[in-house]
């Protein structure tokens, strides 16, 4: 969980400092998170670094010189896990944001979790 939180904070800090790309740790969970964020247009392409198989280069997306990510809230932390049932999953900012949950079917966005009626651990919210 620590590498996941670290990777998310690196992406957020990259946007705050207006960088074109950031390097994050290459794990199965961070790759799944990158896929979800890319599908929802919060990041651009992500590729493994040529000389270092433990790093991923994530391209950051800007719309009209404004970052795609304005805020990131880490909900579950190692000392405090937050679980939600499918019926309790609420849209972030009326559907303008995104939450990612760890379910029995892997990582899912809040919209997908509501569709398949699966609850799980609420990892983070982003908008």
Residue 42: which domain range?
2-67
3-state secondary structure of 9: helix
Tens of pLDDT, residues 72-85: 999 999 899 999 99
Per-residue pLDDT at 29 exceeds 80: yes
CB 23 within 8 A of CB 55: yes
Q: Are residues 8 and 63 in the same domain?
A: yes
pTM of the model: 0.93
Q: Are residues 40 and 80 in the same domain?
A: no
**Mean pLDDT across 60-80:** 94
CB 75 within 8 A of CB 120: no
CB 66 within 8 A of CB 124: no
Query: What pLDDT does residue 95 have?
Result: 87
Q: Are residues 78 and 122 in the same domain?
A: yes
Where does the pLDDT of residue 2 fall: very low under 50, low under 70, confident under 90, or very high at 90 and above? confident
DSSP 26: -
């Amino acid at each position: 969980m620590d590498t996941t939180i670290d990777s998310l904070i690196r992406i957020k800090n990259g946007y705050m400092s207006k960088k074109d790309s950031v390097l994050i740790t290459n794990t199965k969970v961070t790759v799944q998170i990158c896929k979800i964020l890319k599908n929802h247009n919060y990041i651009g392409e992500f590729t493994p670094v040529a000389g270092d198989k433990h790093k991923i280069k994530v391209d950051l997306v800007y719309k009209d010189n404004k970052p795609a990510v304005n805020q990131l809230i880490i909900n579950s932390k190692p000392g405090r896990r937050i679980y939600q049932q499918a019926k309790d999953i609420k849209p972030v900012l009326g559907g303008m944001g995104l939450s990612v949950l760890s379910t029995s079917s892997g990582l899912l966005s809040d919209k997908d979790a509501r569709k398949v009626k699966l609850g799980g651990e609420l990892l983070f919210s982003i908008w």
